[in-house]
Amino acid sequence: MKIKNIDYSLYLVTDRGLACGRSNLEVVTAAVDGGTTVVQLREKDCPTLEFIQQAQSIKAFLRKRNIPLIINDRVDIAQAVKADGVHLGQSDMPLEMAKGILGNTMIIGISAESIEDAITAEKGGADYLGISPIYATPTKTNTAPALGLEGLREIRKAVSLPLVGIGGLNKDNAADVIRNGADGVAVVSAIVAADDPAAAARELKQVINEARKA
């Protein structure tokens, strides 16, 4: 059965292209040491076997720390490695099909680029929403127009699912995202490309925690 009561506050999305030569496991290890609470393994151009091997090594590390591993896009790989969940974008496998395959065994996150996306995903049984993009970001070039904080607030009013903001987020704007309705902040380059991913995660986590208390 899927994990309950997940802390989505600091959600890392991997990207080896930004990792300065470090492996995903090295980045994940440092990020978790700094306070990351969820890890999404994202590989768009990786052979299936390599993707599986990465997922297995990262899962083994995360399992000891009770931190969920989410697989981006690939429902088959999520099943094969018994990950904790899968994250699907608007051009990935439809939620209804993923639910048909996975049933209630895994967390299913959905990227929502509009209020309509968010409402549809909630009705369809998604477990959380990635609100994307909050701001324009160089790590993804095929995204919808930036929603901004106003778009985030509107989605927060429309649905009750946990919301994770993503897109151009860092220590300077993470607090605003939390204060405007997000349960968590998803980052890529702010941790992956940092000289010291553990320190970057620690700083982000502190900003998020302070915003949650406010």
Residues assigned a catalytic role: 42, 111, 140
Tokens of 115: 């209020």
| Residue 1: predicted pLDDT | 78
Cβ contacts of residue 91 below 8 Å, gap of 6+?
none
CA–CA distance, 214 with 68 (Å, rounded to integer)? 27
Domains, the chain: 10-213 (3.20.20.70)
Say if residues 156 and 177 touch (Cβ distance below 8 Å). Answer: no
- Which tens digits make up the pLDDT trace of 44-93? 999 999 999 999 999 999 999 999 999 999 999 999 999 999 999 999 99
- Which tens digits make up the pLDDT trace of 20-34? 999 999 999 999 999
For tokens 């300077």, name the residue.
172
| Residue 3: predicted pLDDT | 87
- Which tens digits make up the pLDDT trace of 142-163? 668 899 999 999 999 999 999 9
